[in-house]
Amino acid sequence: MFRLDDKVAVLTGAGSGIGEAIAHLFGRQGAIVQALDLDEASASRCAETIRQHAGRADARRCDVADAAEVRRTFQAVVAERGRVDILVNNAGIAHVGTVETTSEADFDRVFRVNVKGVYLCSQAAVPQMLAQGGGVILNMASIVSHIGLPDRFAYSMSKGAVHTMTMSIAADYMKRNIRCNCISPARVHTPFVDGFLARNYPGREAEMFRKLSEYQPIGRMGRPEEVAVLALYLCSDEASFITGQAYPIDGGVLAT
């Protein structure tokens, strides 16, 4: 079950964190992983790790907010691998601030990556999926697309857009064998979290890490590998009856 043998899987933001965990798991399950990241070195490390474990993977630098670069990247994937079976729109950035403290530049930056990036990659993938008879798109949303979280105005805006883009793509293409779902994680312990704490709370990292962990009623943050398992299910043939859904993985946040 849950095999992805010979399926070409394009993953954005694959150089670290959740994206890297998904890439590694997909590689173990037989996918031909296309590891995309703005940081080419990180994408290369991800792909090399997959190959070291007998998987197949290519690394590609891609700025998901650059239309020309996205178009070239997907053209290269199709030219070299022949198809795009799975697209995981995982690349994203965070921002802390209210509507008052969020600058226009920061708002535009978050929108450009988190919203426009999903749009551009989906727009590049869908024609190929239609030509080959179908495919799967999985977007990375957040629990902030379901609830309000203090000081996350721009980030919440962007993930709400990801949620509704998911529903729209699912509705538009469900009759044409393209499924689209999204995952809505709560806090997940990634290198980004460690860097965020070091930058914003020097000397208080342990205290703030505990507070962030305790926000989840289960008492800890999620692990990237846990999100990757859910991604594997939703992108596998075993989930062929599922489209247009948002799946929280949140340690009980939405249950309280």
What crossing angle do the helices spanning 17-28 and 224-235 adopt, rounded to 10°?
50
Annotated active-site residue in 119, 155, 173, 247: 155
CA 63 to chain centre: 14
CA-based nearest residue to 178, from 212, 220, 128, 215: 128
Q: Are 69 and 38 in contact (CB under 8 A)?
A: no
CA-based nearest residue to 178, from 114, 90, 242: 242
Q: Judging by DSSP bridges, how do beta strands 8-12 and 56-61 pair with one another?
A: unpaired
Cα separation of 251 and 256, whole Å? Answer: 10
Q: Is 233 a catalytic residue?
A: no
> What sign has the CA pseudo-torsion 96, 97, 101, 103?
positive
CA-based nearest residue to 196, from 184, 211, 215, 209: 209
What crossing angle do the helices spanning 191-200 and 205-214 adopt, rounded to 10°?
130
Q: Are 94 and 197 in contact (CB under 8 A)?
A: no
Positions annotated as catalytic residues are 155
